[in-house]
Each structure stands twice: as structure tokens, then as C-alpha cells.
Amino acid sequence: MYIQCRVRGWFARKFANALRKQRDDKEKELIRRKEELAKQEETKHKTEIERRMHPKKFNDFEVLYNELEAWRLNETKKIKASNELNEEEKQLALT
């Protein structure tokens, strides 16, 4: 019974250690994936900033033009919806 007790304890400790190792490995892999994703996002963000600051290709200029047009439409909508400005001020702001 003594040997049986020790062997069962040994198996239980071995199984618990295997579960701990499995849990730790999963946590490390999750942390690694998060870091990798953050690094990819940062790289993508930097390239987008570089494209906007120093456009070189046609697509870069097209993106800038579309963003400028969206901004212009948004500002026009704000001016037209403004209740604080009279008609003359609205026309002046639109120009």
C-alpha cells in the first residue's frame, strides 16, 4: 500500500506538471501572437503614414484625394447644418 500510495502520488504530480506546462505554453503562444499582431499593426501604421507624407504612386495620391474630398464634404455639411451662422456667414465659410 505504501508503494502504491507513492506511485499514485508520483503519477498525480507528473500529470499536474504536464497540465501546468501545457497551460504555460498556451499563454506564451498567446502573448507571442499578440506581440506579433501589434508589431504588424505598427508596421502597417508607419507605412500608411509614410504613404501620406511622401506619396509616390498613383494609388497614394488617389487615397489622399479621396480623404480630402471626404473632409471637404463633411465640412460643407457642418457649415450648412449650423444654426449659429446667418446666410452671409455660411456663404463666406463655404468659400
Q: Taking the model in full, what pTM does it have?
A: 0.58
User: How confident is the model at residue 29, as a pLDDT?
Assistant: 98
Q: What is the pLDDT of residues 5-54, one digit of tens each?
A: 999 999 999 999 999 999 999 999 999 999 999 999 999 999 999 988 99
85 in Cβ contact with 79 (< 8 Å): yes
User: How confident is the model at residue 78, as a pLDDT?
Assistant: 84
Confidence grade of residue 76 (pLDDT, cut at 50, 70, 90):
confident
Q: Half-sphere exposure of 83 toward its Cβ, with a 13 Å CA cutoff?
A: 0
Residue 50, all three cell numbers: 509614410
Cα(46)–Cα(83) distance, rounded to whole angstroms?
A: 40
